[in-house]
Amino acid sequence: MSAGTSKPSEDVVHLWNAAGRSEVVLICEHASPFIPDHLRHLGLAAKDRLSHAAWDPGALEVAKHLSKRLDAQLVAGAVSRLVYDCNRPPDAPDAMPTQSELIPVPGNIGLDAAAKSARVTTYYEPFHAAVRTALQTTRTPIIVTVHSFTPVFHGKSRRVEIGVLHDADTRLADALLTAAGNGPFSIQRNQPYGPEDGVTHTLKEHGLAGGHLNVMIEVRSDLIATPDQQTTMAGFLEGWLETALSNVAAARGETCSG
Ligand SMILES: [Zn+2]
């Protein structure tokens, strides 16, 4: 899908398995570290352009495996979150961050209103339009967003291995936490981030607003660094999701079709 503005050839959002028949719609906002050429690397050093500040390493690969296993549509961002963080609304201070953890982002410092507005139009709006299209083509959409987080943040090691995040609608998160409870991982609710950190924008924008089941999954990136790890993690997530969705459907007196 093209940006539709001054850079119409830029891909800003990728769709995988657009004909997927699952009611699960997968979303991966931070799938890519790509910075369009005209933004001149945002002034970042090469090592920072591929660091976790720029994207969620491993998340897209896990989401692609899940997309295949579940036969689910996957909407994935194709541009670095340092260009525009599609999991933030346009008025969020970190939608176009001037600093990410320890890394200053020179290309985002001093952006005027017109430059910010252009980023919103070019990157944020097409991404969320693609999400809306995926939801509209699904009978009873179930939103699952897939992210990764860095094992060390501001010099502190994180012990949590998988976070199950939610906003006001806890139904799917509750069921997922129960389903994953006896697994081999340290899994926590609303860790290492939660709604107070502003990370539930997509869930609110598309899940809460539409009344759709929704959950955000954060996996520690050292657990999905290799293809084998990514395949294995997708297998765990698939199993937990299927159990969780069956239990939610049973609680509603329905047959699960997710
Ligand atoms: Zn993320």
Tens-place pLDDT, residues 180-239: 988 899 999 999 999 999 999 999 999 999 999 999 999 999 999 999 999 999 999 999
Q: pLDDT over 70 for what percent of the chain? A: 94
Confidence (pLDDT) at 3: 36
Ligand 1 centroid to 117 CA: how many Å? 22
Ligand 1 centroid to 40 CA: how many Å? 23
Ligand 1 centroid to 3 CA: how many Å? 21
Confidence (pLDDT) at 155: 86
> What is residue 223's DSSP assignment?
G
Q: pLDDT tens digits for 41-91?
A: 999 999 999 999 999 999 999 999 999 999 999 999 999 999 999 999 999
Ligand 1 centroid to 153 CA: how many Å? 14
What mean pLDDT is predicted for residues 9-37?
93
Query: Structure tokens of 188?
Result: 């926590």
Confidence (pLDDT) at 101: 83
Ligand 1 centroid to 53 CA: how many Å? 9
With a cut of 60, say whether residue 4 has pLDDT above it: no
Ligand 1 centroid to 69 CA: how many Å? 22
How far apart are the C-alpha atoms of 172 and 166, rounded to whole Å? 8
What mean pLDDT is predicted for residues 125-144?
97
In DSSP terms, 146 is beta-bridged to 217
Ligand 1 centroid to 250 CA: how many Å? 31
Ligand 1 centroid to 94 CA: how many Å? 13
How far apart are the C-alpha atoms of 213 and 26, rounded to whole Å? 12
Confidence (pLDDT) at 104: 93
Q: Where are the alpha helices (DSSP H) in 77-149?
A: 113-119, 125-136
Ligand 1 centroid to 56 CA: how many Å? 5
Ligand 1 centroid to 48 CA: how many Å? 16
Ligand 1 centroid to 150 CA: how many Å? 10
What mean pLDDT is predicted for residues 170-189?
94
Q: What band does 1 get if pLDDT is binned at 50, 70 and 90?
A: very low
With a cut of 60, say whether residue 7 has pLDDT above it: no
**Residue type, position 125, single letter:** E
pTM of the model: 0.93
Ligand 1 centroid to 112 CA: how many Å? 26
**Omega cis (within 30) before 192:** yes
What mean pLDDT is predicted for residues 126-134?
97
**Better pLDDT: 153 or 148:** 148
How far apart are the C-alpha atoms of 237 and 121, rounded to whole Å? 33
Ligand 1 centroid to 248 CA: how many Å? 26
Ligand 1 centroid to 81 CA: how many Å? 8
Confidence (pLDDT) at 182: 80
What does the domain layout of the chain look like in residue ranges?
13-252
How far apart are the C-alpha atoms of 149 and 192, rounded to whole Å? 8
Q: Which CATH architecture has domain 13-252?
A: 3-Layer(aba) Sandwich (3.40)
With a cut of 90, say whether residue 100 has pLDDT above it: no
Ligand 1 centroid to 60 CA: how many Å? 10
What mean pLDDT is predicted for residues 155-171?
95
Ligand 1 centroid to 252 CA: how many Å? 31
Ligand 1 centroid to 147 CA: how many Å? 4
